[in-house]
Amino acid sequence: MTAPRTFNIVVLPGDGIGPEVMDPCLDVLRSACDRAGGLSLSFETLPAGAGTYRDTGSALPDATLDAARGADAILLGAMGLPHIRYPDGTEIAPQIDLRGLLDLYAGVRPARKVKGIPSPLASPHAEEIDFVLVRESTEGLFASHHKGTIEDDRIARETLVITRDNSERLFDFSFKLAQNRKSRGSPGRITCVDKANVFTAFAFFRGIFDERAPGFPGLSADHAYVDATALNMVRRPWDFDVMVTENMFGDILSDLAAGLIGGLGMAPSADIGDDHAVFQPCHGTAPDIVGQSLANPSAMFLSAAMMLDWLGERHEVNACETAAEMIQDAVDAAFATGDLQPCEMGGHAGTKDIADAVLGAV
Ligand code: ATP
């Protein structure tokens, strides 16, 4: 019998509801890997976040960063607390710093409607919502993170940066993603979301998208302005397949996307680079519900499934993809009847109810 393939996963539970959703997630991962067979995950849990900053003076200790660099993948809960801040008043957000430090340029934010979870949209087409927003994650307006200035208490400035090299790899990543999804039955449509009618940087961004598009035949590539996109995401979100956009626009639109599929507790994400990747739910630390067992852990579970998928594709290990599918199917099965309604949506299912249901389904 061959030994199971082992992957080293650095686990950063973080702050607030981060640890509350991470604990059951590790159980779900262990169970799915056992069932899939031929696969094992070795978890190393390390400190990072606002609590770590308060206790040690560093939000991302060197030992944590070194381990993250050496890991096969990084699983992150959530980080930041409103009452713990840097001297300039900004929140502690090492998850944003990690994107720059590990060069994680593609923020992948899938929005897939799970049957049984209500959408705020009344249309029956809401059941068809299944798109991916790719948020550029290392530059755009966030290039200014920690670098904003205030002059004489009169003028504040932040600078948006778009570079050719980064945009080319971001678009290539997104076109490949659209091709991949097309091979699984999606329409093969990709939309560049920008504000090219007003800003030079976005005209540049759009121009690079147009240059790269012919290299990926079989896709329909188009553009949309970010304001019109916000409108159409509410009107006809089922028409979208893959969207690719700048960092700040992606930050905002991905919360809108989460709202369409029932809330942040259902929205997974991945920050992917050429050498590293971090998988974390779209949500933050939700200080308003911390410690009450109200957090929906589904986004964390679905992020873990994305991690397995990424590991499987990268290392050509089919068992990873099998385990990823098990987790996604288990989340779908847990909610399918509509009886399990997360507190976030006005229901009574707390963290443990949802975790037990998903674990049972795995
Ligand atoms: P960040 O800026 O770090 O992304 P945020 O300030 O946007 O964070 P969140 O912490 O994501 O805010 O919370 C936004 C709202 O969504 C809060 O009311 C919170 O309780 C709710 N929420 C977030 N995640 C979950 C979850 N997993 N389950 C239930 N409710 C959640």
Give residue-wise pLDDT tens across range 105-142.
Answer: 999 999 999 999 998 999 999 999 999 999 999 999 99
Last residue of a domain, one of 260, 276, 302: 260
Residue 80 Cβ inside 6 Å of ligand 1? The answer reads: yes
Q: Which two tokens stand for residue 274?
A: 């050429």
| Whether residues 252 and 125 fall in one domain | yes
Last residue of a domain, one of 260, 295, 311: 260
| Whether residues 331 and 271 fall in one domain | yes
| Whether residues 148 and 239 fall in one domain | yes
| 105 phi/psi in degrees, rounded to 5 | -85, -20
CA of 16 to the centre of ligand 1 (A): 10
β-bridge partners, 269: 280
- % pLDDT > 90, the chain: 91
Residue 95 Cβ inside 6 Å of ligand 1? The answer reads: no
- How many beta carbons lie within 10 A of that of residue 118, not counting itself? 15
Q: Distances from the Cα of 156 to the Cαs of 153, 199, 245, in angstroms?
A: 8, 19, 25
| Whether residues 137 and 107 fall in one domain | no
| Whether residues 127 and 238 fall in one domain | yes
**Where in the sequence is the domain holding 87, given as residue range(s)?**
1-113+265-362
Residue 296 Cβ inside 6 Å of ligand 1? The answer reads: yes
β-bridge partners, 123: none
Is the pLDDT assigned to residue 1 strictly greater than 60?
Answer: no
Average pLDDT over residues 200-205: 98
Write down the pLDDT at residue 208.
98
What value does the mean pLDDT of the chain take?
95
Average pLDDT over residues 58-85: 97
The burial of 154, by beta-carbon neighbours within 10 Å (0-12 exposed, 13-18 middle, 19 or more buried), is given as: exposed
Q: What is the pTM of this model?
A: 0.93
Is the pLDDT assigned to residue 207 strictly greater than 80?
Answer: yes
Residue 133, domain CATH: 3.40.718.10
> Which residues, in sequence order, are CB contacts of 321 under 8 Å at separation 6+?
308, 309, 312, 313
> What letter does residue 342 receive in the DSSP assignment?
B
User: H/E/C letters for each residue in 147-182?
Assistant: CCEEECCCEEECCCECCHHHHHHHHHHHHHHHHHHH
Is the pLDDT assigned to residue 2 strictly greater than 80?
Answer: no
Number of structural domains the chain divides into: 2
